Amino acid sequence: MSFGQLPYDVAHVLGGAMLLLSCMLLYQRRVAAVITALALQGGVLAAAAAWQGYVQGAPQLFLTALIALLAKAVLIPLALRLLVRRFDLDRTVETALGIGASMLAGIALVALAILVVLPVTGGAQAVAREDLALALSVVLLGMLMMITRRNAILQVVGLMSLENGLILAAVGVAGMPLVVELSTAALVLVVLVVGAVFLLMIRGEFASTDTGLVERHRGEAE
């Protein structure tokens, strides 16, 4: 694989699409739209994994793609939608940092990701390097989303986006062992987080989904 060839171009386009979707996640003002963007990102991830499976001739990546498609593009977004509808949550996004400001921060993070990966030259293939920059950007944007949104569901979305970035990186590295196991384990983590949010909301421990408000159980008498 080298620059200008089809496998590279497709992988690149898919990675770019994921980054774009990450930016959209940051940009959206409505919870429903955020969830849709997330589902889309899951779909793109599945496509990327499948493409890599095809290019690298690694059949296990198809499994990864399948799992990603099912879980991230379908099940989890559905569950989140259910959650939003069931609890009649505020449909607009509550931010700790304005949308504009978080976009700016996002751009800065992408620049940083590129800057960090830039010196990596010796030996590593250009493909992997570009992929890495994209995946790193997705990871960082996911984390940014986690810390700039007050809504627990949006934080879960951020975590999932972060995890999507991880899988993107994992499938992009040719010959990565245990890739299925690792991606599944990471997925389990995310699913459990979603489940925990679900559980907590049902139990009424979150009076609101603003995580800023549940911080008062310090266990230390004042």
Partner 1 sequence: MPLPWITVFLPWLGAAILAAIPQERLAVRANVAISALGCLCTLGLVAVPGGEQGWTRIDALNLPLVILGGVIGLTTAIFSAGHVRAEGFDTLRLRGYHAAFQIFLGAQALALLADNLGVMWVAIEIATLASVTMVALHGTPAALEAAWKLFLLCGVGIALALFGTIILYLAAQPFVGHGDHGLSWVVLRGLAARCDPGLLNLAFVFLLVGYGTKAGLVPLHAWLPDAEAEGPVAITAVLSGLLLNAALHAVLRAKAIVGSNPGTIAPGHLLLGFGLASVLLAAFSLWRRRDARRFFAWSSIGHIGLAATAFGLGGLAGNLAGLLHMIGHSLSKSAVFFAVGHAAQRKGSQQIAAIGGLIASDPALGWGLAIAIAAVAGLPPFLLFASEFLLVMEAAARLPWLLAPLLVGLVVAAIAKIGVLQRLCLGAPTPDARPPGPGLTTLGPLWVHLGLCLLLGLGLPGPLRALFDAAARIPG
Partner 2 sequence: MLRACCDVPLLHLTPRAIGSASERFRTFPVLSALGLVILAMLLLAVPAAYGGPERGWVGRLVHAGSLAGCVGFMAIAVAALLGGAPAPLPLPFGPPWGGARLALDALGAWFLLILGLAGALASLFALGHPPGPARSLVPYPLFLAGMALTLAAGDLFTLLLGFEAMSFASWALVAADHEQAENRHAARRYLGFALFAGACLAAAAGLLAAGAGALDFAALRERPPEGWRAAAILALVLAGAGAKAGMVPLHAWLPLAHPAAPSHVSALMSGAMTKVALYVLARFLFDLCGPAQPVWWGVPLLVLGVAGAVLGGLRANLEADTKTLLACSTIENIGLILAALGLALAFRGRDLGGLATLAAGAALLHALNHGVFKTLLFLAAGAVLHAAGSRRIDRLGGLIHAMPVTAACAMLGAGAAAALPPLSGFASEWLLLQSLLAAWKLGDITLQVLAAAALALVGMAVALAAAAMLRLIGLVFLGRPRTPRGAGAHEVGRLERAALVLAAALTLAFGLLPGALLDLAGPAVAQLAGAAPPRHGLGLLAGEGAAAYLPWLVALLLAACLLATWLLLRRRSPQATQRGPVWNGGFIDPPLVFGDPLTQPSAGGIAQPLRRMLGTSLLAAREVVDMPRPGEPRAGHYAASFRDPSEPFLLAPLARATDALAGRAERLRDFSLRQCLGLGFATLVLLLALIAWLEGG
Binding-site ranges for partner 2 (CB under 8 A): 96, 109, 112-113, 115-116, 118-119, 140, 143-144, 146-147, 150, 155, 211-212, 214-215, 218
Structure tokens at 71: 């879980």
Q: What is the dihedral of CA 145, 186, 177, 64, to 10 degrees?
A: -90
Q: Mask of contacts with partner 1, 128-157, x by CB under 8 A?
A: x---x--xx--x---x--x--------x--
To partner 2, the closest distance from the beta carbon of 212 in angstroms equals 5
Task: Measure the CA–CA gap between 93 and 151, rounded to whole angstroms.
Answer: 7
Task: Measure the CA–CA gap between 148 and 98, rounded to whole angstroms.
Answer: 8
What is the SS3 assignment for 72? helix
Nearer to partner 2, 104 or 118 (CB): 118
| Residue 2 engages partner 1 in binding (rule: CB under 8 A) | no
Among 96, 108, 120, 126, binds partner 1 (CB under 8 A): 120
Give the amino acid at 9: D
What is the SS3 assignment for 218? coil
Partner from partner 2, partner 1, none contacting 115, C-beta within 5 to 8 A by type: partner 2
| Residue 177 engages partner 1 in binding (rule: CB under 8 A) | yes
Find the helix or strand (DSSP H, E) in which 65 lies: helix 60-68
| Residue 84 engages partner 1 in binding (rule: CB under 8 A) | no
